[in-house]
Amino acid sequence: EEEETLAMVKPDGVLGNYTERIKNAVVESGFSIIRETVIQLDEHRASTFYVEHSSKSFFSSLVKYMTSGPVLVMILKKENAVADWRAIIGPTDARKAKITHPHSIRAMCGLNAEKNCVHGSDSLESARREISFFFGEISTDAKNLCK
Protein backbone atom coordinates (compact mmCIF):
# COMPACT_ATOMS: atom_id res chain seq x y z
CA GLU A 1 0.00 0.00 0.00
CA GLU A 2 1.14 3.52 -0.78
CA GLU A 3 2.48 5.54 2.15
CA GLU A 4 3.59 9.10 2.71
CA THR A 5 6.67 10.05 4.70
CA LEU A 6 8.31 13.32 5.64
CA ALA A 7 11.79 13.97 4.29
CA MET A 8 13.89 16.98 5.13
CA VAL A 9 17.19 18.34 3.84
CA LYS A 10 18.72 19.94 6.92
CA PRO A 11 20.60 23.29 6.92
CA ASP A 12 24.02 21.72 6.21
CA GLY A 13 22.52 19.86 3.24
CA VAL A 14 20.89 22.99 1.80
CA LEU A 15 23.91 25.26 2.41
CA GLY A 16 26.28 22.58 1.06
CA ASN A 17 24.34 22.46 -2.22
CA TYR A 18 23.26 18.82 -1.82
CA THR A 19 19.59 19.51 -2.58
CA GLU A 20 19.70 18.51 -6.26
CA ARG A 21 21.68 15.33 -5.61
CA ILE A 22 19.28 14.35 -2.83
CA LYS A 23 16.23 15.05 -5.00
CA ASN A 24 17.74 12.95 -7.79
CA ALA A 25 18.13 10.05 -5.33
CA VAL A 26 14.49 10.56 -4.26
CA VAL A 27 13.16 10.32 -7.80
CA GLU A 28 15.51 7.50 -8.87
CA SER A 29 14.31 5.49 -5.86
CA GLY A 30 10.73 5.70 -7.11
CA PHE A 31 9.28 8.29 -4.75
CA SER A 32 6.87 10.97 -5.90
CA ILE A 33 7.37 14.39 -4.33
CA ILE A 34 3.83 15.36 -3.29
CA ARG A 35 4.61 18.70 -1.62
CA GLU A 36 7.81 20.62 -0.97
CA THR A 37 8.73 23.86 0.71
CA VAL A 38 11.86 25.64 1.87
CA ILE A 39 11.53 27.24 5.29
CA GLN A 40 13.64 28.76 8.02
CA LEU A 41 12.82 27.20 11.38
CA ASP A 42 12.90 29.42 14.45
CA GLU A 43 13.85 28.19 17.92
CA HIS A 44 10.27 27.53 18.97
CA ARG A 45 9.37 25.58 15.84
CA ALA A 46 12.56 23.50 15.88
CA SER A 47 12.08 22.70 19.58
CA THR A 48 8.49 21.65 18.93
CA PHE A 49 9.48 19.42 16.00
CA TYR A 50 12.09 17.64 18.15
CA VAL A 51 10.09 17.70 21.41
CA GLU A 52 10.68 13.94 21.94
CA HIS A 53 14.41 14.74 22.25
CA SER A 54 13.94 17.67 24.66
CA SER A 55 15.51 15.85 27.61
CA LYS A 56 18.59 14.73 25.64
CA SER A 57 21.99 16.29 26.26
CA PHE A 58 22.28 17.27 22.59
CA PHE A 59 18.89 19.06 22.43
CA SER A 60 20.07 22.69 22.57
CA SER A 61 22.83 21.95 20.07
CA LEU A 62 20.29 20.22 17.80
CA VAL A 63 17.96 23.25 17.90
CA LYS A 64 20.88 25.57 17.13
CA TYR A 65 21.87 23.39 14.16
CA MET A 66 18.31 23.13 12.82
CA THR A 67 17.85 26.92 12.98
CA SER A 68 21.25 27.70 11.39
CA GLY A 69 19.76 28.03 7.89
CA PRO A 70 16.82 27.05 5.69
CA VAL A 71 15.58 23.48 5.39
CA LEU A 72 13.82 21.78 2.46
CA VAL A 73 10.80 19.78 3.63
CA MET A 74 9.14 17.24 1.31
CA ILE A 75 6.24 14.79 1.45
CA LEU A 76 7.41 11.63 -0.34
CA LYS A 77 4.98 8.99 -1.54
CA LYS A 78 5.39 5.39 -2.65
CA GLU A 79 4.80 1.88 -1.40
CA ASN A 80 6.60 1.34 1.93
CA ALA A 81 7.80 4.96 1.85
CA VAL A 82 8.64 5.27 5.56
CA ALA A 83 11.03 2.30 5.81
CA ASP A 84 12.44 2.73 2.30
CA TRP A 85 13.38 6.39 2.85
CA ARG A 86 15.04 5.50 6.17
CA ALA A 87 17.03 2.78 4.37
CA ILE A 88 18.17 5.17 1.64
CA ILE A 89 19.33 7.89 4.05
CA GLY A 90 21.29 5.41 6.20
CA PRO A 91 22.18 5.39 9.91
CA THR A 92 21.77 8.51 12.11
CA ASP A 93 25.50 8.85 12.68
CA ALA A 94 26.87 9.94 9.31
CA ARG A 95 30.39 9.00 10.41
CA LYS A 96 29.23 5.40 10.86
CA ALA A 97 27.17 5.59 7.66
CA LYS A 98 30.34 6.29 5.68
CA ILE A 99 31.71 2.93 6.85
CA THR A 100 28.64 0.69 6.99
CA HIS A 101 26.39 2.29 4.32
CA PRO A 102 28.77 4.07 1.91
CA HIS A 103 26.05 4.56 -0.75
CA SER A 104 23.58 6.17 1.65
CA ILE A 105 22.65 9.85 1.52
CA ARG A 106 24.09 10.51 4.98
CA ALA A 107 27.38 8.95 3.89
CA MET A 108 27.38 11.34 0.92
CA CYS A 109 26.62 14.61 2.71
CA GLY A 110 26.49 14.12 6.48
CA LEU A 111 29.25 14.94 8.96
CA ASN A 112 28.48 13.18 12.26
CA ALA A 113 25.65 12.06 14.61
CA GLU A 114 24.20 15.57 14.72
CA LYS A 115 24.98 17.12 11.35
CA ASN A 116 23.54 14.25 9.34
CA CYS A 117 22.09 16.39 6.52
CA VAL A 118 18.71 14.65 6.12
CA HIS A 119 15.69 13.55 8.10
CA GLY A 120 13.17 10.77 7.60
CA SER A 121 10.12 9.92 9.69
CA ASP A 122 10.80 6.84 11.83
CA SER A 123 7.26 5.39 11.69
CA LEU A 124 3.92 5.87 9.97
CA GLU A 125 2.67 7.60 13.10
CA SER A 126 5.63 10.04 13.12
CA ALA A 127 5.13 10.61 9.40
CA ARG A 128 1.53 11.69 9.97
CA ARG A 129 2.52 13.99 12.81
CA GLU A 130 5.44 15.52 10.91
CA ILE A 131 3.46 16.00 7.69
CA SER A 132 0.75 17.90 9.54
CA PHE A 133 3.41 19.83 11.46
CA PHE A 134 4.73 21.30 8.21
CA PHE A 135 1.81 21.06 5.80
CA GLY A 136 -1.39 20.50 7.78
CA GLU A 137 -3.68 22.73 9.71
CA ILE A 138 -4.32 20.64 12.78
CA SER A 139 -3.36 16.98 13.03
CA THR A 140 -5.90 14.20 13.59
CA ASP A 141 -4.18 13.41 16.90
CA ALA A 142 -4.51 17.00 18.05
CA LYS A 143 -8.17 17.00 17.02
CA ASN A 144 -8.77 13.86 19.08
CA LEU A 145 -7.06 15.47 22.07
CA CYS A 146 -9.36 18.49 21.74
CA LYS A 147 -12.59 16.43 21.81
Count interface residues toward ligand CMP (CB under 6 A). Answer: 8
| Among residues 12, 90, 105, 119, the one that binds ligand CMP under rule CB under 6 A | 119
Q: What is the DSSP string of 39-103?
A: E---HHHHHHHTGGGTTSTTHHHHHHHHTSS-EEEEEEEEETHHHHHHHHH--S-HHHHHHH-TT
Contact code string over 35-64 relative to ligand CMP, x by CB under 6 A: ------------------x----x---x--
Which amino acid, residue 52?
E
Asked whether the beta carbons of 116 and 93 are under 8 A apart, the reply is yes
Query: Closer CB to ligand CMP, residue 126 or residue 138?
Result: 126
Q: Is 119 designated active site?
A: yes
Contact residues: ligand CMP, CB under 6 A: 53, 58, 62, 92, 113-114, 116, 119
